[in-house]
Amino acid sequence: MPLDLTADVVTLTAALCDIESVSLDEGAVCDAIEEALRPLQHLTVTRIGNTVIARTELGHGERVVLAGHIDTVPLTDPPNLPTRRLPGADGEGEVLWGRGTVDMKGGVAVQLRLAATVPAPSRDVTYVFYEGEEIESEFNGLLHIQQQRPELIEDADFAVLLEPTGAIVEGGCKGTLRIDLTTKGAAAHSARPWNGHNAIHDAAEILSRLTAYEPRTVVVDGLEYREALNAVHISGGIAGNVIPDRCTVSVNYRYAPDTDEDQAVAHMHEVFDGLTFEITDNAGGARPGLDLPAAKAFVEALGVDVVAKQGWTDVARFQAMGLPAVNFGPGDPNFAHHDEERCPVDQLVSCEAAMLRWLA
Question: Nearest 10 degrees: CA dihedral of 113, 119, 120, 122?
Answer: 20
Nearest partner of 47 among 128, 126, 120, 109, judged by Cα: 128
The reply to whether 133 belongs to the active site is: yes
- Alpha carbon distance 187, 198 (integer Å): 7
Nearest partner of 111 among 130, 96, 134, 97, judged by Cα: 130
- Alpha carbon distance 10, 12 (integer Å): 5
**Marked catalytic residue, from 71, 134, 332, 352:** 71
Q: Do 141 and 51 touch, CB atoms closer than 8 A?
A: yes
Q: Do 95 and 345 touch, CB atoms closer than 8 A?
A: yes
Q: What are phi and psi of 179, to 5 degrees?
A: -135, 155
The reply to whether 205 belongs to the active site is: no
Task: Give, in degrees to the nearest 5, the angle at Cα 332 between 141 and 345.
Answer: 100
**Marked catalytic residue, from 26, 124, 133, 314:** 133
- Alpha carbon distance 4, 113 (integer Å): 10
Q: Do 181 and 253 touch, CB atoms closer than 8 A?
A: no
Per DSSP, helices labelled H in 40-120 are: 105-117
Give the residue numbers annotated as catalytic, written as ranges.
Answer: 71, 133
